[in-house]
Structure 1
Amino acid sequence: MLRVPDTPSGRLTDAWRHCVGTGRLELALRADYQESLRVLRRDIGFRYIRGHGLLSDGMAVHRPYEWQGRRHVRHSFTHVDQVLDAYLGLGIRPFLELGFMPGELASGEQTVFWWRGNVTPPRSHQEWADLVRALLTHLVDRYGLDEVRTWPVEVWNEPNLPDFWQDADEKAYHRLYEVTAHAVKEVDAGIQVGGPAISPGADEWLERFAEFTDRHDVPLNFVSRHAYTSGPAQHVPFGVHQTLGPASGLLDQFATPRRQLEGTRYAGLPVHITEFNSSYRPDNPVHDTAFHAAYLAPVVANGGEHADSFSYWTFSDVFEEAGVPTALFHGGFGLLTHRQVRKPTYHLYAFMARLGPDVLARGDDHLVTRHHDGRVTVLAWAPVDPTGETPGPDRHTLRLSLPVRGGEVFVRRSSVDEERGNAYTAWRHLGSPASPKPGQLDVLHEAAEPARTHRRLTTEDGRVDLPLTLSRHEVTLVELTPVVDETPPWWDERRLLGREVTA
């Protein structure tokens, strides 16, 4: 029996829902995308959204033209306005990532992804700076300076990888960052700019980046990096399989920037993990499973102890880096499939959204919080074996002694596991239809509902014992609410069928 203290040990940070990732930004023009984001905002409440392609050709911002024998550039914000209006209308702000390179400004033809984002340096740093200034000046004019100052500006994406930055040229990235950061500050000194948005395994990049910005007095308001735990891809048609390291590896990656910046002028700067997930592939079936929710539960529950934000990559399977998906469940990054079918990891986040602000206890398999009105909430998860060598335990038990108010509490439990709250399992039972018919979609939405039970427990000396048995890969939320009993004195369940009851 674990006795949970009555006194809070701290506050539950909002780092876990500060930001969420998305596919390239022009996807926000689609109805399915916007409906998915509406569901996400309602159930989880992410505050910022980050994605690639703000300056790629699909957004059509950089528009060179010839006039009277001279080259000019027109900056067009038609798509930018529609995307950002949609975000703000749904109550979510942009975490701006500046990239990729417009084709007419690029120094080369190297691209990444099915939609061909150009990843070469600008052939004119002056023209790139003009583009950055024009973009931010427009945003300030349209949305107001106070608003835009709340939007972080991140320079590029994973420049340490040659797929995302030509030759992974570190010196060229430092030059791009320097030009960009100064251009941002020329628009307004209060706009926050940062980087270097590196992938795992490149920690030395952050150290040299910090040294460069310090030595050259280049503005730096936050640092960013990404975190994944998967190994090399084992390819199959339209998908991959990968080994995974322990989920604790993600927490270690979250904590690394603060350790690296200790003793420097940047100690204390905000640290944003602007992408994280288990696998870095958008076609790995692990993303769709109950295993994935249980695997990430300790990360989502505890990540705020190590970083100011950690952004799940991504909120929706409306995402096309590897091409248009060939099936509803295809291993996409999303918390939601197309058509808003919720995955088990979606429910992990939705459960987090119902936790209280005061932390009473943390453990390897649970997080206990309390609301200001006295409700106590317990998030618990079953352990997993990330090696895949075992399926994980059939059952996992824990028993908590919880401090509660009142003589009785109403107990509501919501669970997802291999069978319950698991549309992926139902889809497999249906025969894995690539494009489910309307009736099949109804089945999948129904299967995605968490299993729920309700009961009432009596307290003793201001506490209640809560035994929990979790099935394989289960994530469960238990909410305990003090009962205010308003049952009238004449009510007697024994008389429901009209029987006379003697005292």
Structure 2
Amino acid sequence: MINKQNKRIVKSKVLALAFVAVFLFIRSDRAFSQTTEKPAEVKIMLDKPVGDMYPMWAWFGYDEPNYTYMKDGKKLLTELAALSPTPVYVRAHSLLVSGDGVAALKWGSTNAYTEDAKGNPIYNWKIVDSIFDTYIKRGMKPLAQIGFMPQALSTHPEPYKHSWKPGDPYSDILTGWAYPPKDYNKWAELVYQWVKHSVERYGKKEVESWYWEVWNEPNGYWKGTMEEFFKLYDYSADAVKRALPTAKIGGLNIAGTRSDNAQKWTNAFLQHCISGTNYATGKKGSPLDAFLFHAKGNPKLVDGVVRMDMSPQLKDISTGFKIASSYPETKNLSIIIGESDPEGCAACGMATNPQNAYRNGTMYSSYTAASFARKYLLADKYSVNFLGAVSWSFEFENQPWFYGFRDLATNGVDKPVLNVFRMFGKMSGKRVAVESSRMTPLDAIVENSVRGEQSEIGALASIDKKTAGIMLWNYHDLDQLGTPESVRVNISGISAKKVTLTHYTIDSQHSNSYEVWKKMGSPQNPTAEQIATLEKAGQLETVGNPQKLDVKASSLVINIVLPRQAVSLLKLDW
């Protein structure tokens, strides 16, 4: 039983807590009112769906396949698998390259194919299996790249392994693995045996859920002619289908899709698959279950400041979607952007490429949020069957802390950008209509990126059965600090009387291991205690605790403050 004195104590504590809550609210409201003279106005219409909130973001890839089963590689893959409600697809280069399986920058090997003294094939799936086992164990799916050329099959086997390092000419990586096979029948048998082995190891149903694709960037990573590439594709696709008729095969993962050269390659490839003479079978056309191409931005250093450029990447995507939709035979094909990134070299760090300084902080986060939102809009515009966009960003084992690689984690510590994907993982159901007084129109951002005096404050929103997600970002191409901005979010169409609001954010104070690391003094040999602190800082954080809010007339107004290059997710549950 509670006596009168205890009741007075409880009452006093409640009043004190109420005072603190009101004080914090007033302080937050003051911060909101003092940031800008006029807040950005964002309207979210939850009762106006515009399309599915499909997880096209849940695709990742990397050059170095041997990182897959290493310590930090396995840790990151576990985190990637956990952030998505549906299976994550993973793409890696060099799955058929000859070598000892030791990883290096822009290099990997599995030694899947060698030959004896008489030229007879020797297949060894040990390393390939260890890579795919790591995926399958986590419920992930391979976007299995058929490449590159084993040394014993290459028409130019020497030199084979390169020793490229950041700062070296990029062309140095193009060695014997980039050449056509000396025997297309042996190549086809290798592909057939690989797919057959995969079915035996993982089961028909599992392998049917994968995607297979031939090579990578044949307009750069291929030391043969266009017709020789089509021949390689035909032999590969035929081998895949012979091993598993229901397997899904695609191509061509062209680079620089918007360029005249890439468009020439792409149109010729699609026409070959539709009506050309198949090099392997002699029949008309070639199997094509998915169309793949690449999209990259182009950051530069201008007067010592990083200036991003989303326009080239979005133009690549527009071009790819437009080409796919121009053929009756391909307009409904699954489309995968095989690499989709702010620029083109993940292993080129800040030391040799200072324009890549965006990678550690929140600029990478806001760029990712703003660009992925436009991928949805471009798919809507061209009415294509957009399946996924592969972020070519993973991790690099045993490298300096925050070296400036394009990665999601450094030495097992998550970077801010990974938290954008955690936000995406909390959005599902249908995308809904959004309006913002500061959001760049689609055609304008495709043409010019975000170059005006003001930054962009944009939004992407979704609704599911009893939850809604509103992603907001404050983005500008220039990596410069700006005054934090007040944003008034007007939400309509809420089918509940009360909601719980959880506010997640990525800024200099939240979800940001990089800022914490710098405050530590940028240690290259952090202690175990420091690493634990960094790991915690790398997780997605909330602003305060979840709040219960009353909904009036199916509407709600939420005021937030959004610093430049920050990303927030307002999660409503009822």
Counterpart in the other structure of 1:175: 231
Shift of 1:241: 9.5
Counterpart in the other structure of 1:223: 291
CA distance in 2, matches of 1:252, 1:83: 34
Counterpart in the other structure of 1:332: 405
Task: Please tell me whether the aligned partners of residues 65 and 95 of structure 2 are also in contact (alpha carbons under 8 angstroms).
Answer: yes
CA distance in 2, matches of 1:223, 1:157: 13
The question of 1:368 aligning with 2:461 is answered yes
Shift of 1:3: 4.6
Counterpart in the other structure of 2:170: none
Counterpart in the other structure of 1:121: 180
Identical-pair percentage: 22
What is the number of equivalent residue pairs in this alignment? 460
The question of 1:474 aligning with 2:566 is answered yes
Letter in 2 for 1:265: E
State how 1:50-65 maps to structure 2 within 5 Å: 50-57=91-98, 58-65=109-116
Shift of 1:396: 5.0
| Secondary structure in 2 matching 1:71 | coil
Counterpart in the other structure of 2:424: 352
Q: 1:333 to 1:91 in 2, by over 3 A?
A: same
| Secondary structure in 2 matching 1:472 | coil
The question of 1:83 aligning with 2:111 is answered no
CA distance in 2, matches of 1:18, 1:141: 27
Deviations 1:39-87 (A, max 9, x none): 2211235521101011011211102112xxx321111111122221221
The question of 1:412 aligning with 2:502 is answered yes
| Secondary structure in 1 matching 2:253 | strand
The question of 1:447 aligning with 2:548 is answered no
Task: Please tell me whether the aligned partners of residues 418 and 472 of structure 1 are also in contact (alpha carbons under 8 angstroms).
Answer: no
CA distance in 2, matches of 1:358, 1:125: 46
Letter in 2 for 1:204: K
Letter in 2 for 1:260: I
Task: Please tell me whether the aligned partners of residues 306 and 357 of structure 2 are also in contact (alpha carbons under 8 angstroms).
Answer: no
The question of 1:165 aligning with 2:258 is answered no
CA distance in 2, matches of 1:98, 1:288: 32
CA distance in 2, matches of 1:14, 1:407: 28
Query: Alignment RMSD, CA only?
Result: 2.5
More deviation in 473-482 or 451-460? 451-460
Question: Which of 88, 103, 106 is the equivalent residue of 1:47?
Answer: 88
| Secondary structure in 2 matching 1:367 | strand
Q: 1:468 to 1:359 in 2, by over 3 A?
A: same
| Secondary structure in 2 matching 1:95 | strand
The question of 1:456 aligning with 2:548 is answered yes
Task: Please tell me whether the aligned partners of residues 45 and 433 of structure 2 are also in contact (alpha carbons under 8 angstroms).
Answer: yes
Shift of 1:112: 7.5
TM-score (norm 2): 0.75
Task: Please tell me whether the aligned partners of residues 57 and 372 of structure 2 are also in contact (alpha carbons under 8 angstroms).
Answer: no
Shift of 1:392: 4.9
Shift of 1:119: 1.1
Shift of 1:148: 1.4
Deviations 1:3-26 (A, max 9, x none): 533424134332423421134222
Task: Please tell me whether the aligned partners of residues 403 and 464 of structure 1 are also in contact (alpha carbons under 8 angstroms).
Answer: no
TM-score (norm 1): 0.85
CA distance in 2, matches of 1:80, 1:130: 17
CA distance in 1, matches of 2:151, 2:375: 38
Task: Please tell me whether the aligned partners of residues 363 and 475 of structure 2 are also in contact (alpha carbons under 8 angstroms).
Answer: no
Shift of 1:187: 1.8
Letter in 2 for 1:178: D
The question of 1:197 aligning with 2:258 is answered no
Counterpart in the other structure of 2:270: 210
Counterpart in the other structure of 1:278: 342
| Secondary structure in 2 matching 1:59 | coil
| Secondary structure in 2 matching 1:294 | helix
The question of 1:37 aligning with 2:77 is answered yes
| Secondary structure in 2 matching 1:33 | helix
CA distance in 2, matches of 1:402, 1:343: 34
| Secondary structure in 1 matching 2:409 | coil
CA distance in 1, matches of 2:153, 2:505: 51
More deviation in 390-399 or 375-384? 390-399
Task: Please tell me whether the aligned partners of residues 396 and 411 of structure 2 are also in contact (alpha carbons under 8 angstroms).
Answer: yes
Counterpart in the other structure of 1:430: 520
Q: 1:63 to 1:9 in 2, by over 3 A?
A: same
Task: Please tell me whether the aligned partners of residues 36 and 336 of structure 1 are also in contact (alpha carbons under 8 angstroms).
Answer: yes
Shift of 1:479: 1.4
More deviation in 457-466 or 126-135? 457-466
- Structure 1 gaps of 5+ residues are 235-239, 483-503
CA distance in 2, matches of 1:110, 1:301: 43
The question of 1:12 aligning with 2:52 is answered yes
